Amino acid sequence: MSDSNELLDLAVKIAGWANDGEQVEAYVARGNSTTVRVYNADIESFSSAQEEGVGIRVIVDGRQGFAYAGSLDLEVLQDTISEARDNAGFAEYDEFVALAEPDGVPFADIDLFCPSLLNVATEKKIDAAFELEKKLLASDSRITTVPMAIYGDEWSEVALATSTGITAWQQGNDCALSTYCLAVENGDTQTGFGFTVAREFDELDMDKAVADAAKRATQLLGATKPKSRRLPVILDPYVTSSFLGVMGFPLTGEAVLKGRSFFANRVGETVGSAAVTLVSDPTDTRSLSANKMDAEGLASRRVGLIENGVLSGFVHNSYTARRSGTQSTGSAVRSMKTTPTVGCRALTLQEGTQSQEELMKQVGEGVLVRSVSGLHSGVNPVSGDFSTGAEGLMFRDGQLAEPVREFTIASTLQRMLGDVVAVGNDVEQLPSGLSMSVAIGDISISGE
């Protein structure tokens, strides 16, 4: 959309406002999006949105201040840097607080921008949402309601410049179809969701979104509450990705430095079963969270975290790296409205060799967990205790059996890593990154 580097020029200009003895970082972003929601063969809403904003960090003598403004007007930018500068005066000194500096690691050749998406006619987007609803309703007679069928796309560009010499810019876009449905049979109602995300419109896999939503809802019909007991479970790829989302926290340099990581001081030790190899790899272009740069403008890189069960390291941004006496792993993350922190980007398990069916055969009896709920309230990433709501299907002798709902699965993150029996080869491209089925040997099921 913007092939000039107007936005980067602006970021560089702001970074140039640094006074003597001051470091300034400008993170400037803008984007637009379209969302079409269809319900009952009618357009429920059509939204078109533009947004832009700038986050400015000022560091003076080991003190950091930040301010954000949702405008790129010059006058507003000047107010914003003054506000950040003023805020810096109230932070307390930390010798390690400083902006990132160029580290010579080249940017991987990752192009997240797809020009053809910009040329998709609005009518075509609307038709896709209509078709999604129609196909889902027609896919199974038990599907009675499709409360929403949504098409959405977005384009964004980000420019980052610092007074320490970093300049980075990138743009990207993607599109998605998402939906959910109700299935009803014999007075029982169940729900299922499905989605597809792609960088190009023609790569959207509508049939998969429809099949996933229909399968999730109809397979759960007649589900009952299971008995409380301990059992093996197999996590569906989507559920695995939810757990990866919480597993990242103790693997950050920040959690380690601040005494919130149960992995602290354990590098080189066995922290999981030999089946567990965990990497943060935003350079893997198969991942929808691939990205050439991190939130401080450093190049993305592959970071090995756990290798065959042995803890190999942590992810760092420039602050946690400096304080730990190491190099940034290009793992700064942020939103436009906040300062960078550190996180596992594109965190994934190394795939195994078995399909989900083969995993069920290997395990024999257990629960195939199709979805989890309450992860934000049910996982304490500091203690590692977790307990989440779950739905899914029992399996016996490697074969799917009756559906189950309204139960929880509980363990600790530490124990679960040790209880991984095998990782599947059914790699899916999910919004958070690559994911696959995982078999866990022993989990507490709470139901009746």
Residues 388-417 that bind another protein (CB under 8 A): 388-389, 391, 405-411
Q: Is 70 in the site for another protein (CB under 8 A)?
A: yes
Choice from 134, 215, 337, 361 touching another protein (CB under 8 A): 337
Cα(239)–Cα(436) distance, integer angstroms = 9
The residues in 246-285 that bind another protein, with binding defined as CB under 8 A, are 257-260, 262
Nearest C-alpha neighbor of 114 from the set 170, 71, 67, 174: 174
Min dist CB 74 to another protein, Å, is 14
Can you give the C-alpha Rg of the chain in angstroms?
24
Question: Applying CB under 8 A, which part among 134-142, 279-287, 396-404, 438-446 lies near another protein?
Answer: 438-446
Q: How far is CA 426 from CA 241, 358, 417, in A?
A: 13, 11, 19
Q: Is 373 in the site for another protein (CB under 8 A)?
A: yes
**Which residues are registered as beta bridge partners of 407?**
390
Contact call for residues 44 and 37 (beta carbons, < 8 A): yes
Nearest C-alpha neighbor of 142 from the set 209, 191, 179, 207: 191
Min dist CB 388 to another protein, Å, is 6
Between residues 34 and 331, which has the closer beta carbon with respect to another protein? 34
The residues in 17-36 that bind another protein, with binding defined as CB under 8 A, are none
Cα(358)–Cα(237) distance, integer angstroms = 15
Contact call for residues 304 and 283 (beta carbons, < 8 A): no
Q: Is 43 in the site for another protein (CB under 8 A)?
A: yes
Contact call for residues 226 and 445 (beta carbons, < 8 A): yes
Cα(258)–Cα(36) distance, integer angstroms = 44
239 sits in which H/E element: helix 237-247
What's the gap between Cα 399 and its chain centre? 31
414: number of Cβ within 10 Å: 16
Q: Is 79 in the site for another protein (CB under 8 A)?
A: yes
Binding mask 82-111 for another protein (x = CB under 8 A): -xx-xxx-xxx-x-----------------
Q: Is the dihedral of CA 196, 202, 203, 207 positive or negative?
A: positive
Q: How far is CA 365 from CA 123, 362, 441, in A?
A: 49, 9, 10
Between residues 373 and 399, which has the closer beta carbon with respect to another protein? 373
Between residues 3 and 90, which has the closer beta carbon with respect to another protein? 90
Min dist CB 243 to another protein, Å, is 14
Q: Is 67 in the site for another protein (CB under 8 A)?
A: yes
Between residues 59 and 423, which has the closer beta carbon with respect to another protein? 59
Q: Is 228 in the site for another protein (CB under 8 A)?
A: yes
Choice from 105, 382, 400, 427 touching another protein (CB under 8 A): 382
3-state secondary structure of 146: strand
The residues in 168-227 that bind another protein, with binding defined as CB under 8 A, are 182, 189-191, 225
Q: Is 42 in the site for another protein (CB under 8 A)?
A: yes
Q: Is 376 in the site for another protein (CB under 8 A)?
A: yes
Binding mask 142-161 for another protein (x = CB under 8 A): ---x-x--------------
Q: Is 387 in the site for another protein (CB under 8 A)?
A: yes
404 sits in which H/E element: strand 399-412
Between residues 241 and 356, which has the closer beta carbon with respect to another protein? 241
